[in-house]
Structure 1
Amino acid sequence: MKVVVVDYGMGNLRSVAKAVERVAPAAQVLVSDQAQALLDADRVIIPGQGAMHDCMREFMARGLHDALLKAAAEKPFLGICVGMQMLFDHSEEGDTKGLGILPGRVRRFRGDMVDAQGVPLKVPHMGWNQVVPVAPHPLWEGMAVNATVADGGDGGKSDAAGNGETEGERFYFVHSYYCDPADKAATAAVTRYGTPFTCAVAQANIAAIQFHPEKSAAAGLRLLANFIDWQP
C-alpha cells in the first residue's frame, strides 16, 4: 500500500508520516508535492497547520489542485486540521476560497463564548477535548461512542470546556476556525467549545478531522490505523 502525505509547505508533514509508519509498518509512506504521486497513491492524507489563505496559495502554486480533486473522487482520503477546512467552499479566514469538494463554510469562533461557569473561552481553541461520533463509521472503530451532543445536546454536566457532558475519545486541537457543512449529514463527530461544532466529516471515500491525530497519543494512532484499514 502506498500512502501519500501531501506536501504543500505547511503542516506537520513528518509527524503525520511517522505516525502513519508506526501504525502501518508494511505500507510505503511518502511525503510528496508531486501531482503524480497523489494519482499513484492508494491513500492520500492532507495535513494542515497555519493560515488558510497561505495554505491555499501554496497548494495552488504547486499545481496540486486537479490531482487532489481526482484523488478525492477515487480513493480513501483524509484531511487534517486546515486540510479539513480546505475541502469546503469558503473560509472566513482571509476571505479565502476553498477547494469546494464539500459544500459549506469555515467560520471563526465567536469572541464572546463562555463556559458553563460564565468564564470566557479563549480563541484559539487549544488543547485536549472530547470528540463524540454522531454515527457509526470505521474511523471510530474501537473508540467510545455517545451521540447525546449531536444536535447541540441537552444532556450532560461538563466536558473539558465546561459545556456539557460528552463521552468520547480525547484528541488535541489547535484552531480558531471551524467547519460548518451545508449538508449536516456529512458531520461524523462533534466537539463542544462554547457550543457544539463539527470536528469531523465523512462522505463516501472522504474523511476529515479538525483535531491532530499525530499529537493525540494512543487515540490518534488508533484513528490513523482505522483510516489505513478503511475500505469505503
Structure 2
Amino acid sequence: MIVTMPEHGALPEAPSTGLPFKQILLVDDHVLFAQGLSGLVQQEGLAESVVIVSSVEAATDCLVHRREFDLVLLDLALGGEAGLSLFARMSVHDQLPPVVIISSSDDECTVRAARAAGASGFLAKSASRASLVRMMRAISQGQGYFPGGVAPLNAEVPLTPRQLEVLSLLAQGFPNKRICQSLDLTEHTVKTHLKAIFSQLGVHNRTECVNKARRLGWL
C-alpha cells in the first residue's frame, strides 16, 4: 500500500501506529540539516533516538555491525557518492530496514529511481512538518509514502529492478561512470544492463532509449 498525501491539511487521527521508532539512522552530510531533522523527529515523538552519519560507508558499517535500526532516512547526494549505493552495499547482507529518501531533488525521475532501488518512501527536504509526521506514520504501519504526482511503475515493464535503476539514472543524464558509482557496479555490468534495456526497447542509443521508455510509461 502506498500513501500519497497533500502537503497541507489537518493530520488524520492514527491511534494504532508503530510510533515511536526505537532508533533511526539518518544519513546526511549537511550537519545543520541533519541535526535539525533529528531534533524535529524526536520533538514530535516519532523516534526515541536518532544516529547521524555522513556517508554510505559509515551507514553500511552501522547497519551491518549494530543492526538495531528500524528505519533509515537517506539523503541522495552525499559528497561525491550517491545515497542509492547503500542498497547495493547492503544487498549481500541481511534485509535492510525500511529506507526513506530525503532529498532536495524531488523531480519525477529522482523519485522513480528511489522506488526502483527499493526505497519505502520519499520526502522532499522542502516538505512541511505535517508531511514528515504523515510519512513516519505510514512507514511505521508498513506502508509506502511517495509524492502523489508520481504514479507507480508499470507492472508490465519487462525489466529487472536493477535495470530500472540504471534506466532511471540514464534518464537523469548520468554517464556510465557515474551510474557505476551510484549503484556500486562495474562498468561491464552497467554496459550489460544497458544492452539488455536497449534490446527490450528496440533502440540503438541512449536518447532513443529514454524517449521510448517515457512514451511507454517506464519513466
TM-score category, normalised to shorter length: 0.3 to 0.5
More helix per residue: 2
Larger radius of gyration: 2
More strand per residue: 1
TM-score (norm 2): 0.38
TM-score (norm 1): 0.36
